[in-house]
């Protein structure tokens, strides 16, 4: 989908760049595939803030998306492409031959009327899902499982994808869009194609209120706080922190590595996303 820019008829329109969603479904979602969603405002069960800068925003319905694609060898037709307020990607409503409906993540170049299928070996077409064992090397994929049958966990945000680059025994080698090279079991499912809405990161919301509608509250810098509130706070006059950047709880931030050296999942990462890019 293309980007839309606006003439500066008001201060909030100046510089405003949004996604053109005119081709998406304009009605309500399928009621049986939705759930109510209670806002948490970043609080946990004791009422304490565990995630800052959250709260407010427009009321949402949660769309139940099928990340598992467990309905094997049954073709489904794409009924429509819809907006989902709970994620950056668009979702597609598919109808199987037995009449059941499901929402799936919409990949790029998937249109209304297209057929998709989940199988042990399927055509390399956007929206088809299969395990890595039945997939040709070089395929662009998204919605990648980490554990067989658990459902896709990697490459689900707008415009993301991984590339299946090789086999290593019972594992598949997948290069992610961050540059990381990772091992995944060959029984794990993945969906062909890159996730829809790649222009999502090029939006300019134009005004703070639009972020508030999304449930995002203002972010206050640590250097303007008092010492009781943040390690960067305090000092006479304007100061820039005067120490290495840290979070309010003293953990290094802004690029400092905080991943545990002996983390269990490190053995599945063949090449870190921080490794120097080739040719640089």
Which residues lie below 8 Å from residue 169, measured CB to CB, with a gap of 6+? none
For the stretch 47-73, pLDDT in tens is 999 999 999 999 999 999 999 999 999
Give the torsion sign (CA, 70, 114, 99, 103). Answer: positive
pTM for the whole thing? Answer: 0.91
Using 70 as the pLDDT threshold, list the residues of the chain that sit under it: 1, 277-280
Q: Rounded distance, CA 6 to CA 15, Å?
A: 7
Tokens of 73: 């060898």
pLDDT at 1: 67
pLDDT at 277: 61
Domain residue ranges of the chain, discontinuous segments joined by +: 3-200
For the stretch 136-170, pLDDT in tens is 999 999 999 999 999 999 999 999 999 999 999 99
Burial label for 227, CB within 10 Å (0-12, 13-18, 19+), is exposed
CATH for 3-200, among 1.10.1740.10, 3.40.630.40, 2.40.50.140, 2.60.120.10? 2.40.50.140
DSSP for 76-89 reads: EEEEEEE--TTSSS
Strands 115-116 and 171-176: unpaired
Q: Is 222 helix (H, G, I), strand (E, B) or coil?
A: helix
């Amino acid at each position: 989908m293309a980007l839309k820019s606006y003439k500066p008829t008001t201060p909030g329109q100046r510089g405003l760049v949004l996604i053109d969603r005119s081709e998406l479904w304009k009605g309500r979602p399928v009621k049986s595939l939705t759930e109510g969603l209670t806002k948490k405002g970043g609080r946990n069960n004791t009422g304490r803030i565990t995630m800052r800068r959250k709260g407010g925003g427009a009321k949402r319905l949660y769309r139940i998306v099928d990340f598992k694609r467990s309905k094997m060898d049954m073709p489904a037709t794409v009924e429509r492409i819809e907006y989902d307020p709970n994620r950056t990607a668009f979702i597609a409503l598919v109808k199987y031959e037995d009449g059941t409906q499901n929402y799936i993540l919409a990949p790029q170049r998937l249109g209304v009327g297209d057929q998709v299928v989940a199988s042990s070996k399927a055509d390399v077409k956007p929206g088809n899902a299969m395990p890595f064992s039945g997939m040709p090397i070089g395929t662009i994929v998204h919605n990648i499982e980490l554990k067989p049958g658990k459902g896709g966990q990697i490459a689900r945000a707008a415009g993301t994808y991984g590339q299946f680059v090789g086999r290593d025994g019972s594992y598949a080698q997948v290069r992610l869009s961050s540059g990381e090279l990772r091992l995944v079991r060959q029984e794990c499912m993945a969906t062909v194609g890159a996730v829809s809405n790649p222009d999502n990161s090029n939006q300019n919301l134009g005004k703070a209120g639009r972020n508030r509608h999304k449930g995002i509250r203002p972010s206050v810098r640590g250097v303007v706080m008092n010492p009781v509130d943040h390690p960067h706070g305090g000092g006479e006059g304007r100061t820039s922190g005067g120490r290495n950047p840290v979070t309010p709880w003293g953990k290094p931030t802004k690029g400092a590595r905080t991943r545990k050296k002996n983390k269990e999942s490190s053995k599945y990462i063949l090449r870190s996303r921080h490794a120097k890019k080739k040719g640089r």
